[in-house]
Amino acid sequence: MPARHSWEIPLLTVVVLITGVAYLLAFLLLVLGAVNEYILILVGAPVLIWLGRGLNYSRQRVNGVKMSPTQFPEGYRMVQEAAARFGMAAAPDAYVVLGNGQINAFASGHGFRRYVVVYSDLFEVSGAAREPDALAFIIGHEVGHIAAGHASYWRQLGMFGVPFLPILGNSLIRSQEYTADNHGYCHRPQGAAPAMGTLAAGKYLNTSVGFDEMADRAAQERGFFVWMVNAMASHPVLTWRMWALRDRSSHGRLFWRPGPGSRPLDQPPPQPPGTPGGQPVTMSKIPR
């Protein structure tokens, strides 16, 4: 299995503890007669999350195009392959929804069901992938969220306090994104560069993006506001994310920009003197 980001579980533990304390305080204040919208939201969180997940899942079921062997078969096959690679007992449902120019995908669930949603702009006419390797990486990333437990109801209940913890909460979400990137890389490593290029410049200009040139800037762009932009972001900033996908020798950076000197994407790690050259780095060969 692809490795989980090293900060994910420690941050999750802290966030769940803080959220649990907030739940207890809300219930205590409610019993004592104090009522306001924040207390009611916290007390009602289990039902609110359940309703939101149910409505979101139903929205895909009635409006999305469900991937199948006859509808978007290429994407359907990628979902099945990713689920099998990650050792999942069953592949999640997958839907295509109208993107209107947006490049996006997400994973969620309701009850015992899990599903992936892919925006239509990642496909071309007749349901073929515009950039197959990029799409396979993105689908691997989203299925990876499910395989890593990120789509669990209980996890979302424990992370209910994330919006009220802007830096701590967003750091947890970024660590989850790095974990999902590890899954995407495991599923289709050659899709990492075109996927990041698509996120950076869109589906038409992605081939104009120099992956290494942009990844190099992770160590070059510095300053307090650069740090703040990353700290407040729900996803790792693209330069740092590209750096992490290129340098598979360490986990993606959450708080501080990378230092100089990483290996190019898919290049073997340095070998001791007298050791024959290795094969390109894959997820199973690195301490992630």
What's the pLDDT tens digit per position in 245-263? 999 888 999 999 887 765 5
Q: Per-residue pLDDT for 83 more than 80? A: yes
- Examine residue 279 and state whether it is found in any structural domain, yes or no: no
Chain segment 36-55, per-residue pLDDT in tens: 888 999 999 999 999 999 99
Cβ neighbors of 103 (< 8 A, separation 6 or more) are 119, 121, 122, 198, 199, 202, 203
pLDDT of amino acid 271: 44
pLDDT of amino acid 2: 84
Confidence of residue 125 (pLDDT cuts 50, 70, 90): low
- Higher-pLDDT residue of 260, 226: 226
Q: Per-residue pLDDT for 264 more than 70? A: no
- Examine residue 252 and state whether it is found in any structural domain, yes or no: yes
- Examine residue 87 and state whether it is found in any structural domain, yes or no: yes
pLDDT of amino acid 166: 86
- Examine residue 125 and state whether it is found in any structural domain, yes or no: yes
What is the spatial distance between Cα 172 and Cα 13, in angstroms, rounded to a whole number?
10
- Examine residue 266 and state whether it is found in any structural domain, yes or no: no
What is the spatial distance between Cα 103 and Cα 203, in angstroms, rounded to a whole number?
8
- Examine residue 4 and state whether it is found in any structural domain, yes or no: no
Which of 6-15, 59-68, 117-126 is predicted with the least confidence, judged by mean pLDDT?
117-126
Confidence of residue 93 (pLDDT cuts 50, 70, 90): very high
Chain segment 191-202, per-residue pLDDT in tens: 999 999 999 998
The stretch 20-47 carries a mean pLDDT of 93
Give the DSSP per-residue string, 164-185.
GSHHHHHHHHHHHHHHHHHHHH
Q: For the CA atoms of 6, 10, 12, 14, what is the dihedral angle to 10 degrees?
A: -160
Question: What pTM value is reported for the model?
Answer: 0.86
Confidence of residue 102 (pLDDT cuts 50, 70, 90): confident
- Examine residue 137 and state whether it is found in any structural domain, yes or no: yes
Residue 226's CB is within 10 A of a number of other CB atoms, namely 15
Cβ neighbors of 134 (< 8 A, separation 6 or more) are 122, 191, 194, 195, 197, 198, 206
- Higher-pLDDT residue of 260, 284: 260
Side-chain half-sphere of 166: how many Cα atoms within 13 Å?
A: 6
pLDDT of amino acid 82: 96
- The domain tally of the chain equals 1
The stretch 99-126 carries a mean pLDDT of 89
pLDDT of amino acid 123: 87
- Examine residue 275 and state whether it is found in any structural domain, yes or no: no
> Exposure of 37 by Cβ count < 10 A (0-12 exposed, 13-18 middle, 19+ buried)?
exposed
What is the spatial distance between Cα 83 and Cα 206, in angstroms, rounded to a whole number?
27
pLDDT of amino acid 262: 55
> Which helix or strand (DSSP H or E) is residue 8 part of?
helix 8-31
Domain of residue 93 covers 11-261
